[in-house]
Amino acid sequence: MRFFCVLPLGAHLLSSSTPDAVADSVAEVVLQGMELFIPFSAVPVGGKSQPWFRRSCKAALRRKRECFKAWAEAVTSCDVTIGKRKKAYNSASRSFKREIAKAKSEHIARYGEKLAHLPSGTRAFWSLAKAVQGNFCQPSIPPLHREDDSLAHTAKEKADLLGCLFASNSTLDDQGKEPPTLLRCDTTMPEVIFRQRAIRKALSSLDIHKSSGPDGIPPIVLRTCAPELAPVLTRLFRYLYTLGTVPKCWKIASIHPIPKKGDRSDPSNYRPIAITSLFSKIMETIINSQLLRYLEGHQLISDSQYGFRRGRSAGDLLVYLTHRWAEAIESKGEALAVSLDIAKAFDRVWHRALLSKLPAYGLPEKLCTWISSLLADRIIKVVIDGACSDLKPVNAGVPQGCVLSPTLFILHIIDMLQLSNIHCYADDSTGDTFYTGRAGISRAVVDEYRNKLVSEVETLLRGVSDWGRLNLVQFNPKKTQVCAFSAKITPFVATPLFEDTLLKASASIGILGVDISNNVQFRGHLEGKAKLASKKLGVLSKARRYFTPGHRLQLYKAQIRPHMEYCSHLWAGAPQYQLLPLDRIQRRAVRIVDDQSLSVRLDPLALRRDVGSLCIFYRIYHGECSEELFGLIPAAEFHHRTSRQNTKYHPYHLDVRRSTTERFLRQFLPRTTTMWNQLPTEVFPNQFDLGSFKKRAYQFLKGRQRTCEPSGIVSVHGRRYHLTSGEPPARLPPIT
């Protein structure tokens, strides 16, 4: 740090003539300080796929090969000692396997001894967990298929293959087409201000466990030297923003391919995550915070956009959509939903269209110029297992992994959300429509309503398609999902037309990782999550000997239980027989942990679901959500006179909508409203404080759970059963 204080960094800035030279000078000074004052190991790190393979393993392998060679020679020469040599080979082979197992166990035990003195959540702990599951020799990416059906085996071959694919996905030929024009808003964003205090705070908040950028400067150096680097970076950012220029070295991105769902040998099933210079990320952070403050403060972002926004989540959007569909069924009506798929949404953003929209939202000219420079002339290289692909230029897309990219993408699709009945979480778009009926409605009227729903969905899809043509955005009709939500006996066969393709309705629809059936239930989703969690728990069971009980518990809580709790507030009211498989998995995890002092502190999944549901309801009740979701909160009861019954209500008591079906009462809002009304007044803080409410609600539900039922008893369909050894409810004897 003293090195940066003594060195005249200001002179470097003033002596440089171009922005590229200025940025290079600052980076060179930081790298020079690292070289002078930070010790480094001369031994290359990595490159050894089997670190446990020690000298004894080599000797055992050599002995095995010698015995095999002697046996092969005896077979060839028909020697009488062939049987003896075969026994010697078998013995050497078994010895080699035992030595390998012993070496692996001792290698992991050495790491385990080190980890025993560290917190379970450290980076070394998670590295070990990943290494154990991969058997210490699994490559990051398997061999990839080329178009000619050949395989890319080496790291360099895979990097070049993915580099060409990612570059082609982010290369767009607009053929001289003019971008769309939008009406300018009535507000104007003030110029971005770079304050030294804010830059120092951004440097101090860097995650030291993140990787360094292509320039090789790690975040721990910038975080440690934040007081010394903040002044020079403030001058640098002001200088670049005034010129409206981004240095070339900041536009080079190291791409790390992250696998998506599907076959990992298919190159198209990888998502490119860009690792850029930390200096660029700091400047983008300062700009992004002020840009979002302006957009949110003037309500320029559509209320139907739930992604990348404070106080909103995927669970919020799913609550709103599922409540609309369940309410339509409850009112004797039906709903029709369509889930759209944008092909390479982030990778194929048309720069000219995006830049033409920025002034319409009131962004200042300097900021528009700087963003234009940020997107222009970008270069990518794919990095796999230390091997780099050739540099590839790209002319489209917003790099995934950059701080400013989510906000730019939101600005790119804001005008699409002007269409009615469409909601987005980032690029995941869902359109829907519904009708409410009445009892005893004729089949002819139902058919008329259904035709109207299909017509409204087709109108929506035409609007989306027109927007896509204007912005060079491609939708994939083959991956577009359609689902008709209905409880009527007559099936709703919906086939709306989208870009000359008939869309066939399915029995369920997958939105944001949740599978929703056509009666707004979650049985298929729960079965899938139970299978996935059981599979992951099996991997942990096989590797249990390598970890302490505390480590096994931490792995379960971090890698397995989240799969059983994602958006659990949506399906927490599911029938008990659908939730029991999740409880069985937790009981298996308790047996694998094999430490009662640790597992006794593991809360039941039902308790965690109830607390999570109440916390989400509390946030929505206080308006920390979208306006349309806040409007679904039922009104508070008004009591005209004081009575003995009314004195039991707390000040936050709400109306509970009457329902004729159990299906609707299992939905999030009706179910959680009932729990909300049962809470005592002491649970609610005087002002909005989610942390305090969560703690008090947990303590109340935990205490009530202890007094309600004895341990090992559950109620299913009105009957109480013993839970023993994870048997299905149908096989359990009822309590007499």
According to DSSP H, which parts of 626-727 are helical? 627-630, 662-665, 668-678, 690-708
Q: Which residues pair with 431 in a beta bridge?
A: 338, 422
632/615 Cα distance (integer angstroms)? 16
Instruction: Give the separation between CA 334 and CA 318, rounded to whole angstroms.
Output: 18
Residue 100 in any domain: the answer is yes
Do 575 and 466 lie in one domain? The reply is: no
Q: How far apart are CA 610 and CA 627, in angstroms?
A: 24
646 and 532, same domain (yes or no)? yes
Structural contact between residues 322 and 430, judged by C-beta atoms closer than 8 angstroms:
no
Q: Which residue ranges in the chain fall short of pLDDT 50?
A: 41-47, 135-137, 639-641, 710-712, 714-736
| Type of residue numbered 566 | Y
User: How many CB atoms neighbour CB 667 within 10 A?
Assistant: 22
Q: What is the pLDDT at residue 131? A: 59
CA-to-CA distance for 103 and 57, rounded, in angstroms?
A: 8
- Do 270 and 335 sit in the same domain of this protein? no
Residue 45 forms part of a structural domain: no
Does residue 46 belong to any structural domain of this protein?
no
Phi, psi of 647 (to 5 degrees): -70, -15
Q: Are residues 434 and 489 in the same domain?
A: yes
Residues 226 and 359 in one domain: yes
Which candidate, 36, 407, 398, 1, places its Cα nearest to that of 203?
Answer: 1
Convert the pLDDT of each residue in 302-341 to its tens digit. Answer: 999 999 998 899 999 999 999 999 999 999 999 999 999 8
Tell me, yes or no, whether 499 and 561 share the same domain.
no
pLDDT at 189: 95
Q: What is the H or E stretch that residue 511 is in?
A: strand 508-511
> Per residue in 559-582, pLDDT tens?
899 999 999 999 999 999 999 999
Phi, psi (deg, nearest 5) at residue 646: -70, -25
Please give the pLDDT value at position 10.
55
* Amino acid (one-letter) located at 346: F
> Per the structure block, which two tokens stand in for 696?
């008090």
| Gap between the Cα atoms of 118 and 123, Å rounded | 10
Domain presence at residue 111: yes
First to last CA, the chain: 75
The answer to whether 26 and 228 have CB atoms below 8 angstroms apart is: no
Rg of the Cα trace of the chain?
Answer: 31
Positive or negative, the CA dihedral 676, 680, 685, 690 is negative
Q: Do 122 and 236 belong together in one domain?
A: no
433 plus 402 within the same structural domain? no
Contact between 453 and 505 (Cβ < 8 Å): no
- Cα within 13 Å of Cα(340), Cβ side: 32
pLDDT of residue 43: 39
Helices (H), 358-438: 365-375, 405-413
Are 334 and 245 found together in one domain?
A: no
Measured in residues, the chain has a length of 736
Q: Which helix (H) or strand (E) holds 516?
A: strand 514-517
Distance CA 99, CA 101 (A): 5
Looking at the fold, whether 555 and 616 belong to one and the same domain comes out as yes
2's CB contacts (< 8 A; 6+ apart) are none
Closest C-alpha among 276, 301, 407 to residue 354: 407
For every residue of 319-385, DSSP letters joined together read: HHHHHHHHHHHHTT-EEEEEEE-BTTTTTT--HHHHHHHTGGGT--HHHHHHHHHHHTTEEEEEEET
pLDDT at position 53 is 80
pLDDT of residue 223: 92
For 59-216, list the strands marked E by DSSP: 144-145, 151-152
Is residue 44 in a domain? no
Coil, helix or strand at residue 253: strand
Q: Is residue 734 part of a domain?
A: no
Identify the domain boundary among 485, 520, 555. 520
Total structural domains within the chain: 4
Q: Same structural domain for residues 301 and 373?
A: yes
Residue 727 lies in a domain: no
Q: Would you state the pLDDT for residue 49?
A: 55
Whether residue 348 sits in one domain with residue 322: no
**Contact between 560 and 713 (Cβ < 8 Å):** no
How far apart, in whole angstroms, are the C-alpha atoms of residue 380 and residue 169? 12
Q: Is residue 121 part of a domain?
A: yes
Residue whose pair of structure tokens reads 């003195």 in the numeric block: 117
Q: What is the pLDDT of residue 626?
A: 93
Inter-residue contact 278 to 229 (CB < 8 Å): no
CA–CA gap between residue 698 and residue 730 (Å, rounded): 31
Residue 719: CB atoms within 10 Å? 11
Q: Which residues pair with 483 in a beta bridge?
A: 337, 506
Tell me the residue range of the domain where 236 lies: 3-38+159-312+343-409
